[in-house]
Amino acid sequence: MIESGEKEKLMELLRERLVECGWKDEMKALCRAYIKKKGTNNVTVDDLVHVITPKGRASIPDSIKTELLLRIRAFLASAAL
């Protein structure tokens, strides 16, 4: 799936959907809050990723999950033939 470039397309689509529904803005706000709490000089990118990932994964709207799954399934079906 990666080699055909389909993954890239799906990633772009996912990014677009997440921005549309405000998920990205929410994550940004969470990051800002965390950085404010910890102090700007005491946070690394890894820290942030570690903290944000579980919250991010949990807060993705179901509609987006469904859409992506359907697309992946459709691609696999077409690629298998």
Note the residues at the interface with another protein (CB under 8 A): 2-3, 5, 12, 15-16, 19-23, 25-26, 29-30, 40-42, 44-46, 50, 55, 58-63
User: Whose Cβ is closer to another protein: residue 19's or residue 79's?
Assistant: 19
Closest separation between CB of residue 8 and another protein, Å? 9
Closest separation between CB of residue 80 and another protein, Å? 20
Closest separation between CB of residue 77 and another protein, Å? 22
DSSP 21-49: TTHHHHHHHHHHHHHHHH-GGG--HHHHH
What DSSP designation does 60 have?
S
68 CB-side CA count, 13 A: 19
